[in-house]
Amino acid sequence: MSRQQTLKSLEGLLESFLARVVQRKEDRLGVMEGINRLDDIARQSSRGEDMTDDIGDWFARHNRWLTDSSLKPADVDRITGLLAQFRQQLRAPSESSPAENKIHSEIDRWSETGRKLSPKLILKRAPEARAPQPISDPDTIGLFDKKLTRLTAVFKDTCQGKKHILSVVNDLLESARLQGNKDALILSAFIIYYLKQNGYKVEPYVKKLREAETILAKGALDA
């Protein structure tokens, strides 16, 4: 076999291999092409270009994806992400043209269907080890009374040496966050609400309260 013939034979072999690669990936390639096109549209739209007609064409071409099984969960996530990005460039529905309104409703339809197509994570509880105890009505008033007495004691302790209620809240939040003190958490929430009712700006304290709450909840789970 001459060198020329060898090269020809190799060319045929490689072409045939790549043709089979394309054939094997034909379905995925269609999806990838569609997502790639949507990505282009979203990019151009974010540069300020009017892509209303293009996105309309895209929907017309790919609507069947909502009913057939071409898309994987990752594709659905990707498409809904790109559509959400595209939506940001659209005017509010009240100011939109009829074409834009149609796009808004198509995006909503895709997002809704996407949620249905996404797999759900189902957590199942293990069976109870013991039969549940009969529930008697607890003495809620008595329990709250005890709690209030304890909170008052905590409040008085924390107030010592401080000149402002905000310093007290700060200390209580630290105690809740660092020591996992649930009484301090409840008391700080109570004081923050009181301060809010009296016109204080409480956002930073609310943020700290949420952080402390998360830490406490996590601690309870880890325990």
Partner 1 sequence: MLSGGEKEYCAALLALKRKDYQAAVEQFAMAAPYFKDDKEFNIFFETTRLLVAVKDELARPMNHERLDIEEVFPNG
Q: Which is nearer to partner 1, 6 or 118 (CB)?
A: 6
CB 57 within 8 A of CB 13: no
Give the shortest CB-21-to-partner 1 separation in angstroms. Answer: 6
Residues 29, 33, 39, 42: is their CA dihedral positive or negative? Answer: negative
Query: What is the nearest approach in angstroms of partner 1 to the Cβ of residue 55?
Result: 15
Nearer to partner 1 by Cβ, of 15 and 112: the residue is 15
Could you tell me the sign of the dihedral formed by the alpha carbons of 32, 33, 36, 42, in that order?
A: negative
Helices vs. strands in the chain: H and E counts, helices first = 9, 0
- When the beta carbons of 36 and 149 are compared against partner 1, the nearer one is 36
Minimal distance, residue 15 CB to partner 1, in Å: 7
Q: Whose Cβ is closer to partner 1: residue 78's or residue 182's? A: 78
Q: Which of 171, 166, 172, 164 is nearest to 201 (CA)?
A: 166
Q: How far is the CB of 71 from partner 1 (least distance, A)?
A: 15
**Interacting residues toward partner 1 by CB under 8 A:** 3-4, 7-8, 10-11, 14-15, 17-18, 21-22, 25, 29, 32-33, 35-36, 39, 42-43, 78, 82, 85
Are 52 and 103 within 8 A, CB to CB? yes
Helix, strand or coil for residue 107? helix
In the complex, the smallest distance separating the C-beta of residue 80 from partner 1, rounded to whole angstroms, is: 14
Nearer to partner 1, 42 or 76 (CB): 42
Q: What CA–CA distances, in Å, run from 202 to 79, 156, 191, 211, 212?
A: 40, 22, 10, 14, 15
Q: Which of 56, 87, 80, 68 is nearest to 30 (CA)?
A: 68
Cα–Cα separations (whole angstroms), residue 130 to 126, 134, 195, 199: 12, 12, 45, 50
CB 112, min distance to partner 1, A? 23
Q: Which is nearer to partner 1, 70 or 170 (CB)?
A: 70
